Amino acid sequence: MAERPSPNHGYPGRLLVFEGLDGSGKSTQASLLGKWLASKGYRVFFTEWNSSVLVASTIRRGKKKGLLTPTTFSLLHAVDFADRFDRQILPPLRAGYLVVCDRYSYTAFARDAARGCDPAWVRTIYSFAPRPDRVFYFQVPVQVTLKRKVASRLKISYYEAGMDLGLSEEVRESYERFQGRLKREYDRLAETDRFTVIDAARSVEEIQRDVRRSLAPVLENFPTGAQLLHDR
């Protein structure tokens, strides 16, 4: 079975993207799916949006001193993503891997729009990022993410709460407002960019079952490592 180029981006690999609010459970699901795919013999590469060395210290310093405007914040993250795309996403995609991405350009579309940047401008900046084969959107009410954060004793960060936008003096209230904005952006993107919407307020097992089921058409005729070796 040979690798057929993806109709979305033309590379032999497949790009599987996980998006959603912080605390929606996307990392949990991406990691479970990655392990399951590997156990089935697929060649899998997992990548998450962590700041690259290229801009991490600039972003950190800018955040600490409150120097970043929505535009500079957006541009720095775009540099960060371009670096991740060229170094981590593109090589395995070219080599025919299933590339599992915990966050992709849609994170920036939602976040930058929620911060007041022009959505069309943001799209132009990220025009180098090809359309994924599947975008899973883990849709969940903001209150559920808050409950999970409390249950896991995870701290709400200043920027996660959108405190820099002056929505409220109170962290929790600012978090609810800012994350509410993000959710509205994600819900809009789900329509325009045809996300696979997953009800993420359920158990880890139920969600994972849904993810695997809805991935079946992407995996159809996609070769495992053993099938590729056999053909060569």
| Among the listed residues 124, 127, 192, 203, the single contact to ligand ADP using CB under 6 A | 203
Q: How far is the CB of 161 from ligand ADP (least distance, A)?
A: 14
* Residue 170 beta carbon to ligand ADP: minimum distance, rounded to whole angstroms: 22
| Nearest approach, Cβ of residue 145 and ligand ADP (Å) | 8
In the complex with ligand ADP, which residue's Cβ is closer, 23 or 223? Answer: 23
CB of 53 vs ligand ADP, minimal distance in Å: 22
In the DSSP assignment, the letter for residue 141 is -
- Comparing CB distances to ligand ADP, the nearer of 9 and 148 is 148
**DSSP H or E stretch at residue 17:** strand 14-20
Is residue 13 part of the contact set for ligand ADP (CB under 6 A)?
Answer: no
Binding residue (CB under 6 A) for ligand ADP from 6, 11, 16, 20: 20
Answer yes or no whether residue 152 interacts with ligand ADP by CB under 6 A.
yes
DSSP string for 28-74: HHHHHHHHHHHHTT--EEEEE----TTTHHHHHHHHHTT---HHHHH
Phi first, then psi, for residue 124 (nearest 5°) are -65, -40
Evaluated on CA atoms 112, 117, 120, 125, the torsion sign reads negative
Can residue 197 be called a binding residue for ligand ADP (CB under 6 A)?
no
Give the torsion sign (CA, 126, 71, 113, 111).
positive
Q: For ligand ADP, which stretch binds (CB under 6 A), given 53-61, 75-83, 124-132, 201-209? A: 201-209
Q: Which amino acid is at 162?
A: G
Write the single-letter amino acid at 143: Q
Q: For residue 150, state whether it binds ligand ADP (rule: CB under 6 A).
A: no
Inter-axis angle of helices 56-64 and 70-84, to 10 degrees? 160
Candidates 2-10, 24-32, 86-94, 170-178: pick the segment binding ligand ADP (CB under 6 A). 24-32
For 5, the 3-state DSSP assignment is: coil
Contact residues for ligand ADP (CB under 6 A)? Answer: 20, 22-28, 148, 152, 203-204, 207
